Homo-oligomer: A and B are copies of this chain.
């Protein structure tokens, strides 16, 4: 069976001017991927007739399926209908149902309809209309049966094209471009392994797993291992990914993996572990200024384990709320292991939580010194029976230093919770 390939084409001057990133291309790729139709190219162009004609000609030539978004509005810079009509040699003809829907839409809103809106109901002769439940512009499909190729034109706004795609286009593609392979992806999210080390450790696996491809995505301090498997059935695809996962876990430290899937976060994993172990948490943060609490409370249901947080941005606040001693601050400074230990133990005491975390450091850009440079951050973690402190030196801009510090604190919590064996892991 043939493997079909596709091109995602986005039109719109605001994309070319850099106003938006092209999020439609991302969402469409995701869907094509699942249907087993390989998205091989993304192309974006502005609202210019000649350019659009050129790139659609190239796309029609090199792929089986073109999915394009945008350019279906009523204004002069909406060129999709005209260009497609010209390229495919299909005159534009009015579609009565589309025209009625546009009229009804304006009537329902008690608004006057400018005549120009009816140009939206003109579709290439012989095309399959895609009626729009959430906007005025219909989309359409041109299916070239003899060449076995299709062009699918969708409106630009996600809330218009997404239902169109999911309710109709997906079925059309399954019928006319059935996939010989089911493609699926497994993402293992790691923290605290350098990319080069990961690459070295996993090298023995490259090209030894037929049907599975490896990719890495690097973010500061974190690397995602992305495995894509392709097989004739979804059972086989699952099996390939599962085998690959097992082999990877034998080559790297499994504790470095904080989650699976694009949506996995360290804060969600910390929440899961706290819930399983029935522990409560309190946070005392200085340089991260609320970020750590913010990330923990991004998770629905976090009020079950996060009791409270103090943003002790000033020395005064560290003394007042957390009972950090003046002497400690004077002697060692606000950014020190001694201070962070008192912050964590103080937070644990005043909150009555089972675990408390303290963070203090220098996020920059100013405030650093030779001895205590920008990026130096101290962490403290107080539990029933211990207090651990450590320090790290991060590099980058203020925002990055803060994110990395929050990542580190969350990861410290995660590792502590994993190794705490006084209650069984419910996983």
Contacts and interface: CB of A to CB of B under 8 A. Distances in A.
A91 interface: no
Given A306-B313, A308-B311, 16 more contacts: A13-B228, A15-B42, A16-B40, A17-B30, A18-B26, A18-B30, A19-B262, A58-B58, A289-B296, A289-B306, A290-B290, A290-B296, A300-B364, A300-B366, A302-B313, A308-B316
Nearest to A218: B157
A254 B135 CA distance: 26
Given A18-B29, A40-B45, A215-B14, A297 B308 contact: no
Contacts of A262: 19
Contacts of A292: 290
Interface stretch (A173-181, A192-200, A269-277, A375-383): A192-200
A113 interface: yes
A55 B41 CA distance: 9
B298 A307 contact: no
Interface stretch (A72-80, A140-148, A233-241, A417-425): A72-80
Contacts of A402: 297-298
A370 interface: no
Interface string A279-300: 0000100001111111011101
Contacts of A317: 307-308, 351
A4 interface: no
B396 A199 contact: no
A165 interface: no
Interface residues of A, number: 105
Contacts of A303: 313-314
Counting from the closest, the 7 A-B pairs by CB-CB distance are: A289-B297, A290-B293, A18-B30, A309-B311, A290-B290, A18-B29, A308-B317
A226 B19 contact: yes
B17 A185 contact: yes
A22 interface: yes
A294 B206 CA distance: 42
Contacts of A10: 42
Contact of A42 (B44, B74, B220): B44
B17 A29 contact: yes
B196 A116 contact: yes
A321 interface: yes
Interface of A: 10, 13-23, 25-31, 33, 39-48, 51, 54-55, 58, 62, 73-77, 111, 113-114, 116-117, 157, 159, 185, 194-197, 199-200, 206, 213-218, 220, 226, 228, 262, 283, 288-294, 296-298, 300-303, 306-314, 316-317, 320-321, 350-351, 363-366, 396-400, 402
A21 B19 contact: no
Contact of A300 (B197, B215, B290, B398): B398
Nearest to A117: B196
Nearest to A113: B196
Contact of A308 (B17, B216, B313, B366): B313
A302 B286 CA distance: 12
Contacts of A185: 17
B290 A297 contact: yes
Nearest to A76: B206
